[in-house]
């Protein structure tokens, strides 16, 4: 899952024996693509060293308001800046002492000052002995923190440092990572939605070595898939031949070559999705006959009879029930009129118009310039942008339609 990719995670470590697990937790956050900074209470350094966490996070570890390594040039560690830097804050382990202070606004160390300054969502994973965890004051602290909007990661049941068996041990790092990712995912606008996206060209075989194709790179479709996944959707990305790559467990990539293969795969998934965006440049025609052997250059000219391929977008428009269906139109003249005609003929909710007259738009490049026309023929024009930004604009339009 790439939910945390590029996100800033502030890990708060308090003084419990479970602090030794934070080395693994930092490593897991880094592996998930997050940027990690660590703030420790002074006493927590008795359980895990700042050097360990600094090495793993590739950032300095903070535990005091001033860095006193150089008394002539003391450096202020701003709790406000740390709180603003974070997209998410995770306090693990969270001892009974720290939970009580957090719940009652006590601010006697840097970690608590950062917590009180944080604007982001805060997760806390308690760790303590069984009787401490069950004590009414601890339970009251947990309830108060949840009432403030903080997210409680329940402790596990098992052997505790005291030798007792029961509830109170900090959840394992792998489960904390999974808990945070799933909680973030549930809050995303396309959570529990399924999105089908087509990308790239199709290749229509002439003989075993030659084909009819086009210049589509698949970049736009892949950016759409990344954006859909970042919004919490489960994505089916059906791609023709493309050098583009994607690494996200929310994206299921299905590779095809021909228009016939794309047609079959699209119809395999269409009935189960909520949104379908067909950005692939599908061949309109294919050779009627495919030569079994390579065609030799024996004559000055050759005639190849072409027949129409399936119109995938039109076929989906006919089958559409509750899906939002989005098509693309690449035009060279009478752009708006042609796009509107395609929008209505194929029963689309939106059509994304590209014009080859616009510099920086079209195939292969990293930028695009689009106009979106909805089913009511409202027209929204956008400036030249990166294809990633265009994908964001397209999904903003879709979300406006869903939540209007």
Q: Could you tell me if residue 1 is inside a domain?
A: no
Do 264 and 395 lie in one domain? The reply is yes
In this structure, what are the phi and psi dihedrals at residue 6, rounded to the nearest 5 degrees?
A: 80, -5
Assigned token pair, 357: 């007259």
Domain end marker among 130, 157, 186: 186
351 shares a domain with 259: yes
Tell me, yes or no, whether 3 lies in a domain: no
Domain assignment of residue 274, yes or no: yes
Question: Does 2 map to a domain?
Answer: no
Contact 156, 92 (CB under 8 A): no
Query: What does the block give as tokens for 191?
Result: 């959570």
Residue 150 shares a structural domain with residue 224:
no
Q: What is the CATH number of the domain that holds 350?
A: 3.40.50.10300
319 shares a domain with 234: yes
User: Within a domain: residue 345?
Assistant: yes
Asked if residue 316 is part of any domain, the answer here is yes
269 and 330 both lie in a single domain: yes
Q: Give this prediction's pTM.
A: 0.83
Between 302 and 2, name the one with better pLDDT.
302
Is 289 found in the same domain as 165? no
Question: Could you give the CA distance from residue 201 to residue 307 in angstroms, rounded to a whole number?
Answer: 18
Q: 230 and 377, same structural domain? A: yes
Where does a domain end: 158, 186, 214?
A: 186
Q: What is the SS3 string spanning 322-379? A: CCEEEEEEEECCCHHHHHHHHHHHCCCCEEEEEECCCCCCCCCCCEECEEEEECCCCE
Question: Do residues 337 and 283 share a domain?
Answer: yes
Torsion of CA 149, 150, 155, 161, to 10 degrees: -140
Rounded Cα distance between 363 and 215, Å, is 6
pLDDT tens, residue by residue, 207-249: 999 999 999 999 999 999 999 999 999 999 999 999 999 988 8
Before 93, cis peptide (omega within 30)? yes
Q: Assess whether 214 carries a catalytic annotation.
A: yes
Query: Quick one: pLDDT band at residue 41, thresholds 50, 70, 90?
Result: very high
pLDDT at 201 over 90: yes
CB atoms within 10 A of CB 8: 17
Selecting among 8, 214, 338, 396, the annotated active-site residue is: 214
Q: Residue 55: which CATH number?
A: 3.40.50.1950
Same domain assignment for residues 181 and 288 = no
Structural domain tally of the chain?
2
Q: What average pLDDT score do residues 253-258 get?
A: 98
181 and 225 share one domain: no
179 and 250 together in one domain:
no
Window from 111-125, 225-239, 357-371, 387-401 with minimum mean pLDDT: 357-371
Region 7-29: mean pLDDT is 97
Whether the per-residue pLDDT at 203 is higher than 90: the answer is yes
Range of the domain at 182: 8-186
Q: How many CA atoms lie within 13 A of 368 on its CB side?
A: 29
Smallest CA-to-CA distance from 350 within 392, 284, 395 is with 395
Rounded Cα distance between 377 and 348, Å, is: 11
**159, 186, 213 — which closes off a domain?**
186
Q: Clarify whether residues 335 and 231 are in a common domain.
A: yes
> In this model, does residue 123 exceed pLDDT 60?
yes
Q: Who's near 118: CB < 8 A, 6+ residues apart?
A: 10, 83, 86, 89
């Amino acid at each position: 899952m790439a939910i945390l990719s590029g996100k800033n995670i502030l890990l708060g470590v308090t003084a419990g024996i479970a602090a030794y697990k934070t080395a693994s937790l930092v490593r897991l956050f880094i592996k998930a693509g997050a940027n990690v900074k660590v703030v420790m209470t002074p006493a927590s350094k008795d359980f895990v060293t700042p050097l360990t966490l600094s090495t793993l996070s590739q950032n300095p570890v903070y535990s005091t308001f001033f860095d006193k390594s150089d008394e002539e040039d003391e450096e202020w560690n701003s709790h406000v800046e740390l709180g603003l830097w974070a997209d998410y804050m995770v306090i693990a382990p969270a001892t009974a002492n720290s939970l009580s202070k957090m719940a009652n606004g006590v601010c006697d160390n840097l970690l608590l000052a950062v917590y009180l300054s944080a604007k982001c969502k805060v997760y806390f994973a308690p760790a303590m002995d069984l009787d401490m965890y069950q004590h009414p004051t601890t339970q009251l602290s947990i309830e108060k923190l949840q009432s403030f909007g903080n997210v409680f990661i329940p402790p596990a049941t098992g052997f505790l440092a005291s030798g007792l068996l029961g509830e109170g041990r900090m959840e394992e790092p792998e489960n904390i990572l999974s808990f945070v990712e799933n909680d973030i995912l549930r809050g995303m606008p396309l959570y529990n939605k399924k999105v089908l996206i087509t990308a790239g060209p199709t290749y229509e075989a002439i003989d075993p070595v030659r084909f009819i194709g086009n210049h589509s790179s698949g970049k736009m479709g892949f950016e759409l898939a990344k954006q859909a996944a970042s919004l919490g959707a489960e994505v089916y990305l059906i791609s023709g031949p493309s050098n583009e790559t994607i690494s996200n467990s929310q994206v299921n990539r299905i590779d095809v070559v021909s228009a016939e293969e794309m047609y079959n795969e699209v119809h395999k998934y269409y009935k189960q999705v909520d949104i379908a965006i067909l950005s692939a440049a599908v061949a309109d025609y294919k050779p009627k006959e495919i030569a079994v052997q390579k065609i030799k250059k024996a004559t000055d000219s050759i005639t190849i009879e072409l027949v129409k391929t399936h119109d995938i977008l039109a076929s989906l428009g006919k089958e559409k029930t509750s899906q939002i269906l989005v098509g693309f139109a690449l035009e060279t003249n009478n752009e708006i009129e042609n796009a509107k005609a395609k929008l209505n003929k194929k029963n689309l909710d939106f059509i994304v118009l590209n014009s080859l007259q616009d510099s920086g738009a079209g195939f292969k490049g990293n930028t695009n310039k689009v106009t979106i026309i909805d089913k009511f023929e409202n027209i929204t024009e956008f400036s030249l942008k990166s294809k990633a930004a265009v994908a964001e604009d397209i999904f903003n339009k879709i979300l406006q339609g869903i939540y209007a």
